[in-house]
Amino acid sequence: MRTLGGRYELEQRVGVGGMSEVWRAHDLVLDRTVAVKLISPGQEGEDTSVERIRAEARSAARLVHPNVASVHDFGTSIAADGGEVPYIVMELAEGETLAAHLRDGALDWRIATRVCAEVSAALAAAHAHGIVHRDVKPANVILTPAGVKVLDFGIATPAGAPDHTPEGMVVGTPAYLAPEQIDRQPATPAADMYALGVLLYYCLTGRLPYTAGSATQLLGARRRQPPRPLPEIDGLPPEIADLCRRCLAEDPAVRPTSLMAALLLAEVVDARVYVPMLAAMPRPRSAPVSPWTDRAAAEATEAMAVPAAEGARS
């Protein structure tokens, strides 16, 4: 069994991406289960240097929030060719991804709203630290018994930083990229809000606001036509539909802030989320059941009253 840094014993590979793989591991020093993200070494000239990954890990480690999967450590291991392979040690969020839940179709609008409220709260914490996630999507959202965890700040960047990726490449998932990201403009919090709009649309409808059969077609279609408006959804409050529309605006200045979105979405389902300006809110009661099981909508809404603030203070 492979051990990194004499401390992290890799047990099972749980995910593979374009430039990384994630392992369930055991921290031998603190005797706890963690997630270890191994970053694949890039080609000469690509922006995958050890120092860049170290800087990203440090940025992500500043985020202490109940809806953010915490970063615990950073290190390097030696590859077969003698090169350095950076790795990031993170909190292992137990639960299913939002992508897995969406395979069965759209969520009840109240659950969709609560999920996106907590994602917005996580983004508000990041944006308050000047960090842009750049890859908000269902696969990076875990639904745990205590609520949402947003994963993978591994390509997070300081707001306004220039794009140093090789020409012809874009960072992020095509369906969730803001128009300005496709044009390789510096990432800002507004780009994350566009992705939130796509995420909210997908949760409410079970499909993307675009029609395309491949990533190439998707990027082409997005340059030619605006996102489709939300269809009629029984019981959906108009302010949710309006928020989704504004998040998907082509002009970044029209999109709401993450803080505004978190508060609005939480208010609609009578939930509380942990955001920087509300850190001193009174401690409410917690619900004893998971908010993500299938049950009647009324029961789901009551279960979703598990506040993120509770986890922040425990």
Q: What is the DSSP letter of 153?
A: G
Q: What is the 3-state secondary structure (H, E, C) of 115-150?
A: HHHHHHHHHHHHHHCCEECCCCCHHHEEEECCEEEE
Answer yes or no: are the C-beta atoms of 203 and 119 closer than 8 Å: no
Question: Can you tell me the distance from the alpha carbon of 56 to that of 158, in angstroms, rounded to the nearest whole number?
Answer: 9
Beta strands 20-27 and 71-78 are unpaired
Percent composition of the chain: helix, strand, coil (DSSP 3-state, to 5): 35, 20, 45
Q: What is the DSSP string of 277-289?
A: GGTT-------SS
Residue 67 CA to its chain's centroid (Å)? 9
Catalytic pick among 47, 73, 104, 135: 135
The count of other CB atoms within 10 Å of the CB of residue 200 is 28
Question: Can you tell me the distance from the alpha carbon of 274 to that of 200, in angstroms, rounded to the nearest whole number?
Answer: 19
**135 noted as active-site residue:** yes
Which active-site residues does the annotation give?
135
